[in-house]
């Protein structure tokens, strides 16, 4: 299985939504790059100026715990006293300038494709929601129109009905 297929098929398990951004954790990135998490963090610390807060941030204990509960492959984090780093799409792109191996370059390209794929899914979802809202509004207008017509028919029929003839007394 190529890395590209791995990321496209399993992107939901390695791309997380934290603090309103899509991110990847250092341990997943290190595994993809074929290096140790410690080495990846070391390279990031050596080039910390390339990673502002909107490129990378450290998870809080609450965020870490929430991820551990949701994603079983992160269960080893509960034994670590160091919270992982989360890299945004821009942070992952910046890693390519820090990690210079050929494998890192190839993996980075695949990761960028996964982020693009993820973004396209979100856009399709938004388009679908927009279409669904428009359809819902159209149905609401149609039902409202039908209900008004039914009310008018009921009012008209109740006015026209008059009983003619004799009434029987009991």
Residue 92's nearest CA partner among 20, 25, 5, 18 is 25
Looking at per-residue pLDDT, the higher value among 59 and 170 belongs to: 59
Phi, psi of 57 (to 5 degrees): -150, 160
Beta strands in the chain (DSSP E): 16-18, 21-25, 56-58, 85-88
| Domain positions in the chain | 3-127
- Tokens (6 digits) for 35: 């290096």
pTM of the predicted model over 0.85: no
Looking at per-residue pLDDT, the higher value among 164 and 2 belongs to: 164
Q: What angle do CA 96, 52, 79 make, to 5 degrees?
A: 80
pLDDT tens digits, one per residue of 91-127: 888 887 787 777 777 777 777 777 778 777 777 777 7
> What mean pLDDT comes out for the span 131-153?
78
Sign of the torsion formed by the C-alpha atoms of 35, 16, 55 and 78: negative
Separation CA 75–CA 73 (nearest Å) = 6
How are beta strands 21-25 and 16-18 bridged, if at all?
A: antiparallel
Looking at per-residue pLDDT, the higher value among 11 and 168 belongs to: 168
Query: What pLDDT sits at residue 6?
Result: 47
Looking up tokens 């595994």 gives 31
């Amino acid at each position: 299985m190529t890395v590209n297929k791995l990321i496209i098929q399993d992107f939901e398990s390695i791309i997380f939504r934290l603090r309103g951004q899509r991110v990847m954790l250092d341990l997943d990135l290190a595994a993809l790059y074929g290096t140790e998490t410690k080495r990846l963090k070391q390279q990031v610390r050596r080039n910390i100026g390339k990673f502002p807060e909107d490129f990378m941030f450290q998870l809080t204990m609450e965020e870490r715990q929430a991820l551990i509960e949701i994603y079983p492959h992160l269960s080893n984090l509960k034994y670590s006293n160091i919270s992982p780093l989360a890299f945004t799409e821009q942070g992952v792109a910046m890693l390519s300038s820090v990690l210079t191996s050929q494998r890192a370059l190839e993996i980075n390209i695949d990761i960028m494709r996964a982020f693009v794929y993820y973004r396209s899914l979100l856009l399709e979802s938004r388009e679908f929601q927009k279409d669904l809202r428009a359809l819902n509004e159209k149905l609401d207008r149609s039902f409202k129109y039908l209900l008004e017509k039914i009310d008018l028919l009921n009012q008209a029929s109740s006015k026209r009905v008059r009983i003619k003839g004799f009434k029987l007394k009991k």
